[in-house]
Amino acid sequence: MRHITLAATALALSACAPAPISGTTLPFFGDGYRVMGDQCRRIGEDDFTNQFLDDAADLVGCPADMENLGVFVTETGAIEVARKDGYVLYSVPTR
């Protein structure tokens, strides 16, 4: 019975995980940056992104065609560091 409960719990938790972003090799994680559901998401470390990671900032990727990119930059103090796979990568200072 315990195995069934553990399996059911794991299944329920996996349903809450954000869907992977197709068409990109960027290591996104989380479900939205700032609030759940935002188009921008945090990016983890890989061979490409490690050059942009900083202890005093979050690395965030936003779709290049996102309508309110200017608002995002203004509100967060984001600095563009790269573009890849249709995403703009920003270093966002952690305050």
Q: What is the pLDDT of residue 95?
A: 74
Asked if the model's pLDDT at residue 64 lies above 50, the reply is yes
Cα–Cα nearest to 40, from 56, 17, 23, 64: 64
Task: Please give the helix or strand (H or E) that residue 30 lies within, else none.
Answer: none
How many residues appear in the chain? 95
Q: What is the pLDDT of residue 22?
A: 64
Q: Please, are residues 62 and 48 in contact by the beta-carbon 8 Å criterion?
A: no
Strands 87-93 and 28-29: unpaired
pTM over 0.85: no
